[in-house]
Amino acid sequence: MKTLAVCSGGLDSVSLAHMVAAEHELTGLLSFDYGQRHRKELGFAALCAQRLKVPHQIIDIGEIGRGLSGSALTSSIDVPDGHYAEDTMKITVVP
Protein backbone atom coordinates (compact mmCIF):
# COMPACT_ATOMS: atom_id res chain seq x y z
CA MET A 1 0.00 0.00 0.00
CA LYS A 2 1.34 3.45 -0.89
CA THR A 3 1.77 5.50 2.28
CA LEU A 4 2.77 9.07 3.12
CA ALA A 5 3.98 9.49 6.72
CA VAL A 6 3.96 12.60 8.87
CA CYS A 7 7.38 12.96 10.51
CA SER A 8 8.33 15.60 13.08
CA GLY A 9 11.89 14.32 13.23
CA GLY A 10 11.46 13.14 16.81
CA LEU A 11 12.19 9.61 17.95
CA ASP A 12 8.60 8.35 17.67
CA SER A 13 7.89 9.61 14.16
CA VAL A 14 11.29 8.57 12.77
CA SER A 15 10.73 5.07 14.18
CA LEU A 16 7.26 5.01 12.64
CA ALA A 17 8.64 6.11 9.26
CA HIS A 18 11.10 3.21 9.27
CA MET A 19 8.35 0.78 10.28
CA VAL A 20 6.06 2.04 7.50
CA ALA A 21 8.91 1.78 4.98
CA ALA A 22 9.52 -1.84 6.04
CA GLU A 23 5.86 -2.84 5.83
CA HIS A 24 4.44 -0.68 3.02
CA GLU A 25 5.50 1.43 0.06
CA LEU A 26 6.56 4.68 1.71
CA THR A 27 6.10 7.45 -0.86
CA GLY A 28 7.34 10.38 1.22
CA LEU A 29 7.60 12.17 4.54
CA LEU A 30 5.67 15.29 5.47
CA SER A 31 6.71 17.67 8.26
CA PHE A 32 5.11 20.80 9.68
CA ASP A 33 7.05 23.91 10.64
CA TYR A 34 4.97 25.58 13.35
CA GLY A 35 7.80 27.74 14.68
CA GLN A 36 9.19 25.11 17.04
CA ARG A 37 12.25 26.03 19.08
CA HIS A 38 14.04 22.76 18.36
CA ARG A 39 14.25 23.19 14.62
CA LYS A 40 16.89 20.46 14.49
CA GLU A 41 14.04 17.94 14.49
CA LEU A 42 13.04 19.13 11.01
CA GLY A 43 16.62 18.37 9.97
CA PHE A 44 16.31 14.89 11.47
CA ALA A 45 13.13 14.38 9.45
CA ALA A 46 15.02 15.38 6.29
CA LEU A 47 17.83 12.94 7.15
CA CYS A 48 15.27 10.20 7.75
CA ALA A 49 13.76 10.82 4.31
CA GLN A 50 17.22 10.77 2.75
CA ARG A 51 18.05 7.43 4.41
CA LEU A 52 14.73 5.96 3.30
CA LYS A 53 15.21 7.41 -0.20
CA VAL A 54 11.87 9.22 -0.26
CA PRO A 55 10.94 12.88 -0.83
CA HIS A 56 10.50 15.15 2.19
CA GLN A 57 8.21 18.18 2.26
CA ILE A 58 7.93 20.77 5.01
CA ILE A 59 4.67 22.69 5.25
CA ASP A 60 4.95 26.09 6.92
CA ILE A 61 2.13 26.58 9.41
CA GLY A 62 3.95 29.31 11.31
CA GLU A 63 0.86 31.50 11.43
CA ILE A 64 -0.90 28.79 13.40
CA GLY A 65 2.19 28.24 15.54
CA ARG A 66 2.23 31.88 16.61
CA GLY A 67 -1.10 31.22 18.31
CA LEU A 68 0.38 28.41 20.40
CA SER A 69 1.64 30.59 23.21
CA GLY A 70 2.47 29.08 26.56
CA SER A 71 4.20 26.00 25.16
CA ALA A 72 7.84 25.18 25.89
CA LEU A 73 8.06 24.00 22.28
CA THR A 74 7.28 27.41 20.80
CA SER A 75 7.81 30.02 23.54
CA SER A 76 10.82 31.11 25.59
CA ILE A 77 9.77 28.93 28.51
CA ASP A 78 12.17 26.54 30.23
CA VAL A 79 11.45 22.88 29.56
CA PRO A 80 10.57 21.34 32.93
CA ASP A 81 12.13 18.22 34.41
CA GLY A 82 9.97 15.41 35.64
CA HIS A 83 7.62 12.66 34.62
CA TYR A 84 5.29 13.31 31.67
CA ALA A 85 2.26 12.40 33.79
CA GLU A 86 2.80 15.48 35.94
CA ASP A 87 0.89 18.70 35.27
CA THR A 88 4.18 20.58 34.79
CA MET A 89 4.81 18.72 31.54
CA LYS A 90 1.67 20.09 29.86
CA ILE A 91 3.67 23.04 28.51
CA THR A 92 5.81 20.62 26.46
CA VAL A 93 2.85 19.57 24.30
CA VAL A 94 1.58 21.31 21.19
CA PRO A 95 -2.20 20.74 21.00
CATH number for position 13: 3.40.50.620
Range of the domain at 53: 2-67
- Asked whether residue 11 is domain-assigned, the answer is yes
- pLDDT (0 to 100) of residue 79: 59
What distance in Å separates the CA atoms of residue 74 and residue 53, rounded to the nearest whole number? 30
Comparing CA positions, the residue from 69, 65, 73, 63 lying closest to residue 9 is 73
Q: How many domains does the chain have?
A: 1
- Asked whether residue 20 is domain-assigned, the answer is yes
- pLDDT (0 to 100) of residue 5: 98
42 CB-side CA count, 13 A: 13
- pLDDT (0 to 100) of residue 82: 63
pLDDT in 10s for each residue of the chain, 95 residues: 999 999 999 999 999 999 999 999 999 999 999 888 778 999 999 999 999 999 999 999 988 767 766 554 555 656 556 666 666 656 565 55
- pLDDT (0 to 100) of residue 35: 81
